[in-house]
């Protein structure tokens, strides 16, 4: 796999989701697309044996779905490194 340091255009975010199960990766992608407009995900094998899944998608943070407003999430699991400004 190559390492690409190219930045996306302003307002866009490139997201990679890696999971042991394709269903779990798709659930995370679906949740992100519920908050932001996004491209269809691209799927790649992941893990040492290639049995996991990596999904890649591009999100447009400047366009929110109709009727959606971002606010402080109330469903974050406790853990280190979680901040919300």
Give the single-character DSSP code of 29. Answer: H
Q: What span, in angstroms and rounded, lies between the C-alpha atoms of 69 and 46?
A: 33
pTM above 0.85, yes or no: no
Contacts of 38 (CB under 8 A, 6+ apart): 29, 32, 57, 58, 59, 60
pLDDT at 66: 60
Query: Tokens for 3?
Result: 């390492």
pLDDT at 15: 92
Worst-scoring range by mean pLDDT, 4-13, 41-50, 58-67? 58-67
The answer to whether 73 touches 48, Cβ cutoff 8 Å, is no
Comparing 40 with 52, the larger pLDDT belongs to 52
Comparing 19 with 82, the larger pLDDT belongs to 19
């Amino acid at each position: 796999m190559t390492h690409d340091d190219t930045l996306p255009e302003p307002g866009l975010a490139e997201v990679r989701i890696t999971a042991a199960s394709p269903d779990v990766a798709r659930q995370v992608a679906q949740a992100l697309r519920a908050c932001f407009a996004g491209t269809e995900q691209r799927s790649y094998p992941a893990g040492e044996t290639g049995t996991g899944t990596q999904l890649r998608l591009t999100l447009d943070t400047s366009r929110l779905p109709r009727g959606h407003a971002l606010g402080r999430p109330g469903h974050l699991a406790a853990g280190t490194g979680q901040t919300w400004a």
